[in-house]
Structure formats: structure tokens, C-alpha cells
Structure 1
Amino acid sequence: MNAAELHQDSIVIDGLIIAKWNRELFEDMKKGGLTAANCTVSIWEGFQNTVNNIVEMNQLITENSDLLRPVHSTRDILRAKEEGKTGIIYGFQNAHAYEDKIGYVEVFKKLGVGIVQMCYNTQNLVGTGCYERDGGLSDFGREIVAEMNRVGVMCDLSHVGSKTSEEVILESKKAVCYSHCLPSGLKDHPRNKSDEELKFIADHGGFIGVTMFAPFLKKGIESTIDDYAEAIEYVVNIAGIDQVGIGTDFTQGHDQAFFEMLTHDKGYARRLTRFGKIINPEGIRTVGEFGNLTETLLRRGFDEASVRKIMGENWVRVLGDVWGE
């Protein structure tokens, strides 16, 4: 089976997309052979504005139902594959939308939210993000983790501080993930994870989605799809072939104002970081070029079974474990 055939036959899952939601993007998802994606519907928004975002996204899915289907279970992912559509998993990049109400975890789960990042860069009621002194998981945070375990929502630790991440990994009864991260062994950056952190989450049954966000890659905006594949190889060598997948962090279609919002605390307060220029690695600049990654992994020596696992099978398995369906 050649690379194009393998890509077409594989389940392809992106563990994090935060692109501009529109018809053009959805068509590109189809072109890229994307079976399902974790799509961000909340970052700094509280409960009400997050509900508003979900209402808007529900409308988009309805209007583009020839290309999309909502995902509430792994069965929905498999259905999306059969139908030639892209399954949309709702995800938060911050537990801020839960406010101080444990009951909101189940409310949002019923609306389709299957993956929630505990913190986004800074402190919230749950714990601490990766750009602040880390106070660890709060007692309220422990209750939130327990409730996420109970109703079947995956804990994501990508933008979370090291101590808070470690305590979530130990507290959770179900697998947790870094949905989109890179190894600091290839580039030292507050958002990248050390070899020890990568090994720790994998040793505790957790999962790692490898991102290609250029500011965190070794060669920055000069990076190519091979540099992305190198990072995947690096993580596989630490965590093992069954614990690794894709989490591109595609920001396709967004303007500079969007990145300004992302890089300031709460979207408007103090500056936390500067990304500089953002260009995705050559060879996978758009979602539509996803097939090039399958080809690159094969060319670099991964066998067919391993490529299928990395491109999506591993995500399906771990999501099934967490969601219970």
C-alpha cells in the first residue's frame, strides 16, 4: 500500500485544532483526509460565552453537515470515517468555563465537550499554567478531575505547569494527555515538555499529541515536515509507539489580533509570551496537506502499523478508555 492509499485508509485524528471555523477550513479538512479533530471552543471565556461559542459551532456543523458530524463517542469517529466526513470533538483549552461549579462538567459533556485542558498558561481555580510559578492542583481542582473522570472528559495538560500536571496525572483515575506539545530536548521553551515529563505521563498510561507549532520547533519558522516528524520520533522513543499521536495546533485563517489575545493573560491583561512570526512547517502548511505526514513517517522508517497508530488509532483507543464508549 503506498502512502496515499494508507492515508486514505487510516483513521486520521488531530488532537488540537484552533483554526478559524468556516466552510473553507472544513473543505480543507476533507482534502487532508481528517477523520476527527479536537476543536477548541473555549479559552478565556466563562460559562455563558462558552455556551454561545458552542451554539455557533452547532450551527456551523448543521450548515456543513455534508462535511462534518458531531462526535460524542468513539463510535461517532468510526461513523465519520465510514461517511467520509470529519468528526468534530468539542474541546476547551481552559477549565475556566467550569467557573466554580462542579456540575458544569457534566453539562458541557452533554453538549459534546470531550477534552478539557486544566489551565491555559496561567492560574485558574483548578491549578497553574506553564507561564507562572506553579502552585499545583487545588483541592477544587481535585474535585474537577474526579468529576471529569466520572462523566468521561479527558484531562489535557498541554499549557499546564509542571507541578500541576504531575498532580493531575497522579490524581486522575483515567488516562490524561498532552494533546499538543513538543519535547524540550529539541528546543527549550516553557511550553515544551522535558524527557522526564514525557516519560512520567506515558508511564502512568497517559497520552502525548505532538504539535508542529513553529515557535516551539527546533528550527522555528524555518522548520519543515521532516522537523515535525523528527519531534514525533523523539517522543515515540521516550513514550513508546502506543502512547503518541498528532495534535497539530493548526491556527489556520486567524489574524494577528487572535494571537495577541492568546499571548495575554485572560486574553487582554499582561503579556505572557511573544510568538513572533508564525508559519507552519513546509510540507504541512495547511490542514489539506495532512497526507504528506503519512508519507513522511513512512519515508523515515515507520512501518505501516506504526503510522496508523500515530495518525489516529492511538487517539481512538485512549479516548474510548476515557469516554467509556
Structure 2
Amino acid sequence: MSTLHQDALIIDGLIISKWERAVFEDMRKGGLSAANCTVSVWEDFRGTVANIARMKQLIRANGDLLTLARSTADIEQAKKDGKTAIVLGFQNAHAFEDQLGYVEAFHDMGVRVVQLCYNTQNLIGTGCYERDGGLSGYGHEVVAEMNRVGIMVDLSHVGAKTSEEAILASKQPVTYSHCLPAGLKEHPRNKSDAQLRFIADHGGFIGVTMFPPFLQRGVNATVDDYVQALDYVINLVGEDCVGIGTDFTQGYGQDFFDWLTHDKGVNRRLTEFGPIQNPLGIRTIGEMPNLTAAMERARWPAPKITKVMGRNWLRVFAQVWGA
């Protein structure tokens, strides 16, 4: 591990791995200071509360490795203590159900990032795999309430029209926490140059993922291809509003992906990902130092590396959470 990686604050904008000791140990091995960890996708209010309770129990049980992040100060303290700060995040606002008051309730529980939709339509708006009707009336109220309490709006799996309307509606920076540029590969989950510029022009933030189905070279990609994708986005919008959002799914098998990609209606499939294998060199969270090394190989200056590896996320989190 290079001194640069060791000293840097490392923040992963999205991980949806199997929450267990082995993954937490790998987070420490990789030098992660913090990660936005998914605790809700298709679960309702009650199921999500149960997931949060379990995650908090895991944080206590693995207190030698982890701490809960309610603020950016918690992230900076975790870095000092050699721990990983767990940011509780949702990949779907389904758990808000039709109760606006649940937004603040979840904030009180520690939730700090919520994606509005996951692939398909819900009460708030439309996902990226369906015809997009835009942000609903209730969706406008949810965005305003998330702004008020200090939960970041995530639009990674959200449709183009709903995303644009959410970006315009939000008084705080919003994010594509884990996306890739359509300019490198056409895919419903990838964002066009115009979309990437639009979110950046409105003070938003872009986390670049390395999820293989969305990468130009798919399962043949390497850590250097991931750095190339980061540079593509940076060349469009500048290095101050770009970070990493790996979308690690470590510890999970096919059953999990079948559950993730289901559509409305029993036994309906929305999409098939094919084989999931992260880029060579960064197959596991523990290999995160290889990403910093690849940035150095690409002759990135140290300030650019430290910003993209975590400092940018910290800045934007401070802005939204401190609102």
C-alpha cells in the first residue's frame, strides 16, 4: 500500500456487499475510511427498520473495525482511529411508502443517502428501465423533506426525466452515486454526457462505478479501465465533483442478483446482467490500494487522487448533511 493511499481519506460512494465480518475486514484491508452501505432496496418500512437494526448490531459486534457515520466528523474520526465509518443508505425510496414523516424517522435512525427509485417506477418517480413520467407531486415533497432533514438525493438508477426534475427541485447537491458514462458504453444505466454535465452544472456530484455490465470492456476490464472511466467523467465536468462509487457486491451469488433485478409482477425479470466479475486488480474491496496505484500509473497528481478517492465526497456530504 502506497503512502499516498495510507494517508488519504478513502470514501466509497456505494457498496451493496453481504454485510458480514469478512467484508468489514476487507474494508479495513483496503483502507476505507467510509462507505455508503445499502440497507434497503425492495424492503418496505418495517423490513428496512429490521435491516438497519441488524446493521447497527453488526457495527457494535465489529466495533474494532467499524463505526456509524451520522456526520462528516464521524468519518474523519474513523480515519484517525483506523476504522471504517458506515453510512446508511437506500437504493430505493420504497421504504418511505406513502408517509412523508418516514423521511425524518429514517434520518433519526442514521440514514444519510437515499436513491429515489431502483430501476422501475414507484410513488416518487421512474427508474431508468421504464418510460419516464418524471418526479411525482409526492416526489417533490420527498425531495424537499430530504433537503430539510439532511439526506442526500441519489439518482443513479433513476430515469432521465425524473433525474432532471429532481436536480432542479433539490436545494442541495444531489448525486449519481454509482454510474458510468454512456459515451464509453450505451446502457440504460449509464448517463449521457449531457446528463453528467447537467448534474455537475447544478452543483451535483458523480460517483463513478466499475460494475462490469456497464463498463466498456465488461468482465475483461482492468483497474486501468476503471481509471479511464473516471478520467472520461472528469474531462467532462472537472475533478471537484467526481468520486468513486464502486458498487461492490462482494459475498453475493446469483440468487441475490435475481432478487435485485426483478420487475413489477411475480416472476418478471427486468434485466439479465450476465457474469459479474469486477475489473482485474480491484476484484475485492481489500484491493482498493491498487486503484490509487493505477491513478499514480496514469500520472494523476496527488491532489487529484486524494480528491477523487474521498475528499470530494466528504465536502459534498458536509454540505448536504449539515443543511
Q: What TM-score comes out, normalization by structure 1 length?
A: 0.98
Shift of residue 269, structure 1, vs aligned partner: 4.4
Picking from 180, 184, 201, the partner of 1:203 is 201
Q: Which amino acid aligns with 1:130?
A: C
Gaps of 5+ in 1: none
Q: Which amino acid aligns with 2:9?
A: I
Aligned equivalent of 2:28: 30
Instruction: Check whether the contact 1:213–1:250 (CA below 8 A) recurs between aligned residues.
Output: yes
Aligned equivalent of 1:319: 317
Distance in 1 between the 2:223 and 2:116 partners? 29
Aligned equivalent of 1:127: 125
Residues 20, 302 of structure 1: alpha-carbon distance in 2 compared, 3 angstrom cutoff = same
Percent of paired sites with the same residue: 65
Residues 269, 157 of structure 1: alpha-carbon distance in 2 compared, 3 angstrom cutoff = farther
Q: Does 1:89 align with 2:92?
A: no
Distance in 2 between the 1:78 and 1:280 partners? 28
Distance in 2 between the 1:262 and 1:118 partners? 16
Residues 276, 221 of structure 1: alpha-carbon distance in 2 compared, 3 angstrom cutoff = same
Aligned equivalent of 1:304: 302
Q: Deviations over 1:91-132 (max 9, x none)?
A: 000000000011100100111100000000000000000000
Aligned equivalent of 1:71: 69
**1:154-233 alignment, distance < 5 Å:** 154-233=152-231
**1:236-251 alignment, distance < 5 Å:** 236-251=234-249
Q: Which amino acid aligns with 1:61?
A: I
Q: Deviations over 1:29-88 (max 9, x none)?
A: 000000000000000011000000011111100100000000000000000000000000
Distance in 1 between the 2:316 and 2:265 partners? 31
Picking from 94, 115, 118, the partner of 1:117 is 115
Picking from 278, 285, 293, the partner of 2:291 is 293
Aligned equivalent of 1:15: 13
**1:145-156 alignment, distance < 5 Å:** 145-156=143-154
Instruction: Check whether the contact 1:44–1:266 (CA below 8 A) recurs between aligned residues.
Output: no
Gaps of 5+ in 2: none
Distance in 2 between the 1:266 and 1:5 partners? 48
Q: Which amino acid aligns with 1:105?
A: V
Aligned pairs, number: 323
**1:93-112 alignment, distance < 5 Å:** 93-112=91-110
Moved over 6 A (4+): none
Shift of residue 265, structure 1, vs aligned partner: 1.9
Distance in 2 between the 1:267 and 1:278 partners? 25
Picking from 38, 41, 44, the partner of 2:39 is 41
Say what the alpha-carbon RMSD is for the aligned residues.
1.0
Distance in 2 between the 1:199 and 1:269 partners? 37
Distance in 2 between the 1:61 and 1:268 partners? 35
Q: Which amino acid aligns with 1:33?
A: G
Shift of residue 205, structure 1, vs aligned partner: 0.4
Shift of residue 268, structure 1, vs aligned partner: 5.3
